[in-house]
């Protein structure tokens, strides 16, 4: 099964007349349709709200689109909080989930009225000394061990640096209640990028049962449960995508089996999806500029790992389409590389693709989340532009490409550019 692009070769040929490759391209139509589907899937829960994980795609134009659907922001740093504030997200529109958090970031979150999601029991005292304890607060739960569905180990929460242990969670709720907290939330992230409709219901069962016990043993007023992220996308063409409506219905069944009988049928559900919301609706467009025939066959692109870090960092698979050759046989084996001075700067290793000619446009799929946002400047490389493919087929530049002036701007005591002889 072949993954299809949301843009045609003809459209790309027009786009590159104005914006040279490489660049990240986003599909407005797909983003909007997915936002609607998520809202519909959880419409049975009156308090449902998606807090988009800003770290996945921190672009104001994207955030404004999601804001139209009533979504909030899940922020994890000072600058993400500043971005949310600048875009008009206010108070409970913002969830602040961070770890090893500096005092100034807690203070900014508190001043903005954001819902603070505490990562550790020791942060209770830290927060109290920094800002005071707010009336509404959330705590991140890590039950430890391994998280399994059927016989497949999905992830290892016990190895994760995040969250309260079970004992700490109950003790933390008691302490916070004594300190005047009136409304509580709990949050957990137990597995990443799951391509199964069973993950969210299994996670919900853990959280719902924990919430019931917390209410019974601490008397805490639990007003929301944050199911966080973890719903994945099919990076590989042979994977079946998740069905968000099936997921929503399965979570509803667990909610009615667990929370409703405990008198907690008014608890709001939150999500903080990043990859699921944006991943498939972005791609990295790059041009083949070199071919190398040595011990292997290499195709060198004008993009590199600074534009998409996941393959180099995780060995992650991202599908590649050679535009205009979608129906040609994949009878050539290539390593598709960038130009960094690192051997792991490869978008694909031993990938079977159609014959690639110099100048061919390559679309690297599923970069809409954790693509541009993980970029960096190693080797002095400059981050690429971000472009929105609008519903009417037109394009909008939503972040310009970096320039050498941007790269040198932080050398405020040494004017690099004026000293360059070639200038």
Q: Directed axis angle between helix 60-67 and helix 78-86, to 10°?
A: 60
Extract the tokens encoding 378: 């190693």
What are the residues whose beta carbons fall under 8 Å from the beta carbon of 28, sequence distance 6 or more?
65, 388, 389, 390, 391
Between CA 397 and CA 298 the distance in angstroms is 31
The residues facing 346 across adjacent strands are: 337
Please write the tens of the pLDDT for every residue from 178-235. Answer: 999 999 999 998 888 899 999 999 999 999 999 999 999 999 999 999 999 999 999 9
Whole-prediction pTM value? 0.94
Which residues have CB under 8 Å from 309's CB, separation 6+?
374, 375, 376
* pLDDT value at residue 153: 46
Higher pLDDT, 3 or 136: 136
pLDDT higher than 90, residue 111 = yes
In angstroms, the first-to-last Cα distance of the chain is 51
Token duo for residue 280: 């498939």
Tell me the C-alpha to C-alpha distance, in Å, between residue 371 and each of 91, 160, 198, 295, 381. Answer: 28, 23, 26, 30, 15
Task: For residue 405, count other CB atoms closer than 10 A to its CB.
Answer: 9
- CB-CB contact of 322 with 301 (8 Å): no
Token pair listed for 15: 């786009």
With a cut of 80, say whether residue 423 has pLDDT above it.
no
CATH of the domain spanning 28-279, picked from 3.20.20.80, 3.30.1330.20, 3.20.20.10, 3.40.50.300: 3.20.20.10
pLDDT digits (tens, 9 = 90+) for 326-380: 999 999 999 999 999 999 999 999 999 999 999 999 999 999 999 999 999 999 9
Q: Where in the chain is the domain with CATH 3.20.20.10?
A: 28-279
Task: Round the average pLDDT of the chain to a whole number and report it.
Answer: 94
- Strands of 302-344, DSSP E: 320-322, 332-337
Could you say which of 2.40.50.40, 3.10.20.90, 2.40.37.10, 3.30.70.1230 is the CATH number of the domain covering 280-408? 2.40.37.10
- Containing 129, the helix (H) or strand (E) segment is helix 123-130
Report pLDDT digits (tens) over 56-82.
999 999 999 999 999 999 999 999 999
53 within 8 A of 273, measured Cβ to Cβ:
yes
Q: Cβ(187)–Cβ(228) under 8 Å?
A: yes
> Taking Cα atoms as reference points, which of 281, 270, 277, 272 lies closest to residue 75?
272
Q: Identify the bridge partners of residue 363 per DSSP, sorted by sequence position.
A: 285, 321
Query: Residue 35 above 50 pLDDT?
Result: yes
Cβ 364 vs Cβ 320: under 8 Å: yes
> Per the structure block, which two tokens stand in for 356?
């690639």
Q: Coil, strand, or helix at residue 256?
A: helix
Question: 87 exposed, middle or buried (CB, 10 Å; 0-12, 13-18, 19+)?
Answer: middle
Residue recorded with tokens 């960094």: 340
What residues act catalytically?
341
For 302-313, what is each residue's pLDDT tens digit? 999 999 999 999
Among 342, 282, 335, which Cα is nearest to 306's? Answer: 342
Nearest Cα to Cα of residue 106 among 85, 134, 142, 84: 134
Region(s) of the chain under CATH 2.40.37.10 = 280-408
Question: Which among 101, 137, 74 has a CA at the least distance from the CA of 270?
Answer: 74
The secondary structure of 167-213, three-state, reads: HHHHHHHHHHHHCCCCEEEEECCCCCCECCCCHHHHHHHHHHHHHHH
How far apart CA 162 and CA 252 sit, in angstroms, is 27
pLDDT value at position 420?
58
Q: Name the residue with tokens 């087929």.
A: 393
Give the E-state strand segments of 108-151 in sequence order.
Answer: 115-118, 136-140, 147-149
Q: Is the pLDDT of residue 416 over 60?
A: no
Residue 163: both structure tokens together:
């969250």
Structural contact between residues 12 and 323, judged by C-beta atoms closer than 8 angstroms: yes
Contact 42, 245 (CB under 8 A): no
Is there a contact between 170 and 218 (Cβ–Cβ < 8 Å)?
A: yes
């Amino acid at each position: 099964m072949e993954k299809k692009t949301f843009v045609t070769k003809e459209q790309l040929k027009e786009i590159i007349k104005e914006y040279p490759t490489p660049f990240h391209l986003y599909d407005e139509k797909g983003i909007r349709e997915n936002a609607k589907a998520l809202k519909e899937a959880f419409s049975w829960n009156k308090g449902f709200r998606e807090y988009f994980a800003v770290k996945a795609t921190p672009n104001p134009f994207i955030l404004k689109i999601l804001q139209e659907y009533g979504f909030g922001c899940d922020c994890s740093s000072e600058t993400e909080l500043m971005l949310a504030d600048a875009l008009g997200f206010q108070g409970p529109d913002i969830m602040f989930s961070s770890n090893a958090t500096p005092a100034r970031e807690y203070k900014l979150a508190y001043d903005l009225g954001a819902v603070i999601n505490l990562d550790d029991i020791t942060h209770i005292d830290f927060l109290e000394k920094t800002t005071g304890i707010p009336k509404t607060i959330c705590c991140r739960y890590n039950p430890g061990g391994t998280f399994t569905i059927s016989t497949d180990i999905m992830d290892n929460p016990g190895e994760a640096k995040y969250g309260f242990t079970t004992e700490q969670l109950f003790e933390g709720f008691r302490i916070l209640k004594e300190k005047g907290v009136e409304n509580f939330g709990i949050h957990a992230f137990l597995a990443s990028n799951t391509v199964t409709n069973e993950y969210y219901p299994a996670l919900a069962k853990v959280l719902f049962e924990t919430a019931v016990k917390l209410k019974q043993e601490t008397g805490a007023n639990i007003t929301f449960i944050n199911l966080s992220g973890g719903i994945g996308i099919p990076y590989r063409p042979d994977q079946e995508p998740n069905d968000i409506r099936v997921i929503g219905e399965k979570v509803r069944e667990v909610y009615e089996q667990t929370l409703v009988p405990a008198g907690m049928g008014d608890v709001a559900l939150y999500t903080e999806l990043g990859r699921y919301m944006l991943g498939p609706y972005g791609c990295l467009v790059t041009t083949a500029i070199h071919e190398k025939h040595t011990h292997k066959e290499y195709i060198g692109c004008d993009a590199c790992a600074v534009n998409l870090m996941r393959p180099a960092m995780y060995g992650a698979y991202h599908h590649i389409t050679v535009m205009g050759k979608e129906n040609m046989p994949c009878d050539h084996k290539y390593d598709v590389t960038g130009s960094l001075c690192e051997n792991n700067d490869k978008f694909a290793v031993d990938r079977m693709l159609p014959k690639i000619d110099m100048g061919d446009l390559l679309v690297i799929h599923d970069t809409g989340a954790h693509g541009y946002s993980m970029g960096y400047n190693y080797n002095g490389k400059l981050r690429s532009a971000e472009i929105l493919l609008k519903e009417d087929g037109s394009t909008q530049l939503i972040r310009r490409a970096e320039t050498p002036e941007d790269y040198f701007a932080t050398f405020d005591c040494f004017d690099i550019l004026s000293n360059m002889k070639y200038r």
